Amino acid sequence: AQSVTQLDSQVPVFEEAPVELRCNYSSSVSVYLFWYVQYPNQGLQLLLKYLSGSTLVESINGFEAEFNKSQTSFHLRKPSVHISDTAEYFCAVIPMDSSYKLIFGSGTRLLVRP
Amino acid sequence: GAGVSQTPSNKVTEKGKYVELRCDPISGHTALYWYRQSLGQGPEFLIYFQGTGAADDSGLPNDRFFAVRPEGSVSTLKIQRTERGDSAVYLCASRSGLAGHTDTQYFGPGTRLTVL
């Protein structure tokens, strides 16, 4: 069985400060890793994903995540956040032996304050 | 182009009633998923369709839940004898099915079901 843990339910941060949202997973098989974002009153959107190759992946809006196999982590970072980054962020995995169903963590609410 | 759409956006029903939730995937997408998101939780997998058939229904909580996709496009999630614990946001997602795991799953806005 697989599970995804997001220990921080809420992360408050000031605008232009750096942020890290933590994600750890547990799996007996290899997985693909994802971060989805849900802006207020909007649906889930893919932010970035790791499938293979370079362990550092980036999104178009300045977020990055690094796959660490030994620590089974996929933390999300941004060096300088904006008010518009306020949203719920979900880490998820797809086990490689599955029907490509996403297994989500419980989410982290990022609150960016001016 | 049009994304995944779900109707209704909100559904309020009484305990014991039957409800149907509809999902219109992105045109041409062969893979379709249903998830359920309870308050304060991440989405949980319910069922996966590849074409018309349910390829994985291991996430359906019990036999009150059933889903169909008769023509390989629109899908309907059906819940019989609703219970208050069924209250949640039901999400639908689709992907093209052309590249398996590398396809992005695109989510609809969800249907918020409230069972009184």
Residue from A3, A93, A99, A109 to probe the interface with B (highest B Cβ count within 10 Å)? A99
Whether B91 has its CB under 8 Å from any CB of chain A: the answer is: yes
Q: How high is the pLDDT of residue A1?
A: 81
Closest to B32 measured CA to CA, from B81, B67, B66, B7: B67
Span B11-50, pLDDT tens digits: 999 999 999 999 999 999 999 999 999 998 999 999 999 9
Of B42, B106, B109, the CB nearest to A104: B42
| pLDDT of B74 higher than 60 | yes
User: Each residue of A37-96: pLDDT tens digit?
Assistant: 999 888 899 999 998 888 888 898 899 999 999 999 999 999 999 999 999 999 999 988
- What pLDDT is recorded for position A99? 75
CB pairs under 8 A between A and B: 63
pLDDT tier for residue B101 given thresholds of 50, 70 and 90: low
* Phi, psi values for residue A91, rounded to 5°: -90, 145
Which residues fall within 8 angstroms of residue B77, CB to CB, at 6 or more apart? B20, B21, B23, B34, B46, B47, B65, B66, B67, B90, B92
Identify residue B48 by its one-letter amino acid code.
Y
Residue B1 has pLDDT above 60, yes or no: no
| Pure H helices in chain B | none
Q: Is B110 left (phi over 0), alpha (psi -120 to 50) or beta?
A: left
Closest by Cα among A22, A8, A12 to A111:
A12
- Determine the average pLDDT of the residues in B79-83: 97
